[in-house]
Amino acid sequence: YYHNNRWHDVNFDAGEAKAAAPKGFLQLNYTPSQTLKNPLYDTHFTIAKIAGGSMHRLNFRNTEGAESTISLQSFFQQPVEIEEGYYILITGTRMANGKVLARITTFNIEEGKTTPVDLILRRDDKDIQVIGEMDPEALFLPENKSNPQSILATTGRGYFIVGILGAGQEPSNHFLRDLARLKTDFESWNRGIILLFPDEDQWKRFDKADFTELPSTITFGIDKDSSITNQLVKNLNLASANNLPIVVIADTFGRLVYVSQGYKIGIGNELIQIIKKL
């Protein structure tokens, strides 16, 4: 309740009310990257108060509902009111090899004041970063099959490539020619490559005879309900589902470590360079 210009916490199990702790405001500042526009709390960053020699993680669950919905844009767009005291902000960037690039920032919150803190996620341009996620159990209709099949059932465990193509479109044709040119390299990698068309009409318009030297590890198919395309567009913050090809590298757990969209010179070589680091 509010009394004498101050909020008071009430504990019905205690004998008397205690004054609420003085509070200030935290303003998080973040510069979006191409692959991460909206960091998630507990996934990309967390905040803890230091009190009594221990860390006490802040829990915003009651405000947002499910914890997984708490993000920078949904909750931290405006200054957030928290108790005064000494805090740490911990950020983490997952890499493909399992390590996490962590960063710790300390700050103080003073009563009635707003404290700006930069939210920074570390990068290592020499290593491969996890840039998003997809569902490896997502279904597609394989070539010459009547029943849908999951990505994982097709590729097996480990890393794999998924490409969404446009039939007769030069950017997609360029990508296919790159795969053919580097056929030996991709076959030596011996991992699955799934190439999908958005619908049956595009699949029918595609002529495999135009690309006779493709790697034998390729499986063609149809993304009939666009579920795979849509989740890639959403999870990777891509501008459009129509700018094809969309090419990704992911693993058994659905961790995405590479994405390319639209026309790009040398995409085949880029894929091989990433593959050699995995």
pLDDT at 7 over 60: no
Residue-wise pLDDT tens digits, 221-269: 999 889 999 999 998 888 899 999 999 999 999 999 999 999 888 899 9
Instruction: Answer with the residue of higher pLDDT: 20 or 101.
Output: 101
Instruction: Answer with the residue of higher pLDDT: 9 or 45.
Output: 45
Instruction: Answer with the residue of higher pLDDT: 126 or 239.
Output: 239
Q: Which domains does the chain have, with CATH numbers?
A: 2-118 (2.60.40), 132-277 (3.40.30.10)
pLDDT at 18 over 80: no
Please, which pLDDT band fits residue 66 given cuts at 50, 70 and 90?
A: very low
What pLDDT, on the 0 to 100 scale, is given for residue 132? 87
Give the separation between CA 23 and CA 146, rounded to whole angstroms.
62
Least confident of 33-47, 60-74, 170-184, 223-237: 60-74
Give the separation between CA 105 and CA 92, rounded to whole angstroms.
12
Give mean pLDDT, residues 16-24: 75
pLDDT at 134 over 70: yes
What pLDDT, on the 0 to 100 scale, is given for residue 8? 61
Residue-wise pLDDT tens digits, 190-222: 999 999 999 999 999 999 889 989 999 999 999
Give mean pLDDT, residues 109-135: 90
Tokens found for residue 71: 């993000």
Average model confidence (pLDDT) across the chain: 88
Please, which pLDDT band fits residue 67 given cuts at 50, 70 and 90?
A: very low
Query: Which residues fall within 8 angstroms of residue 81, CB to CB, at 6 or more apart?
Result: 23, 24, 25
pLDDT at 49 over 90: yes
Give the separation between CA 224 and CA 193, rounded to whole angstroms.
18
